[in-house]
Amino acid sequence: MARNYQSRKRILVTGGAGFLGSHLIDRLLDRGDEVLCVDNFFTGSKRNIEHLHDNPRFELMRHDVCFPLYVEVDEIYNLACPASPVHYQYDPVQTTKTSVIGAINMLGLAKRLKCKIFQASTSEVYGDPHVHPQKEDYWGNVNPIGIRSCYDEGKRCAETLFFDYHRQMALDVKVARIFNTYGPRMHPADGRVVSNFIMQALRNEPITLYGDGLQTRSFCYRDDLIEGFLKLMDTPPAFTGPVNIGNPNEFTIRELADLVIEMTGSRSALEFRPLPQDDPMQRQPDISVARAELAWEPRVQLREGLKRTIQYFKDI
């Protein structure tokens, strides 16, 4: 139900021109809120938000969260950070800065405004896990000096900052750990497995699998994930998370490749390459906390989500 003027909120979304940020903004605007979208366009795209420019409740600001931001808002969603290995390994120092200094700046803003703040964390805080499926009380198995560390450890440090601000300053924080997510508006060259496979299949190019293709992932469609964000943000201050937001159905990468080939009618063959450093062998969320605290679980299963995503890539 759309909000009226009295209940309308002004909400800051950092990373708002990105894949997930732009869909979150759509949902916030649809329910009647005002949105300030902040993005430096390192990985975000103006194409993702161009349909919003005539909306009087939408405002866009080009800004890097590594620098302080002085605005007046009622809530903050902090999504700013490159999220695919291709992008975050391109400038690993800047990736770490975005996670850590960006968190400090957004938490400082939330402290000044006394407002609720959401952190988009990641399942990568679990590293290459020794526990399966992964529950929120698992501390993880992360290489602190590897090529993925800029993202993994940056997000872990951001979580530390959020919980220290919560304990020390009674800040109302919400931390979501995002598992593999896919859907329309993914960047076709972002290096993530779903977009890689679909683009290769549509071009009838070899589909590249790393290792033996038996490593597992759990794929959550974007609409389900955004619904989880909103439900988490609506919880009472006593509930902070972290909470896993993802689809618990687990697939091998080989199964994903075969399904994409089938659904696209592609002539692509499979091509196996060496496994990258620190690539996790298993990834599956335990969503018991999300079910209990948010009354949330994903609805869109892989075949239906892939159908919508394949059509998007065909259209562009």
Preceding amide of 242 cis, omega within 30 = yes
Bridge partner residues of 268 (DSSP): none
Q: How far apart are CA 127 and CA 144, in angstroms?
A: 10
Q: How far apart are CA 234 and CA 29, in angstroms?
A: 16
Give Cβ neighbours of residue 202 (< 8 Å, ≥ 6 apart). 264, 266, 310, 313, 314
Q: How far apart are CA 306 and CA 198, in angstroms?
A: 9
Q: Tokens 């998007």 identify what position?
A: 312
DSSP output for 45-64 = -GGGTGGGTT-TTEEEEE--
Active site residues: 151
Q: What are phi and psi of 284, to 5 degrees?
A: -155, 125
Preceding amide of 133 cis, omega within 30 = yes
Angle at 239 between CA 237 and CA 242, to 5 degrees: 130
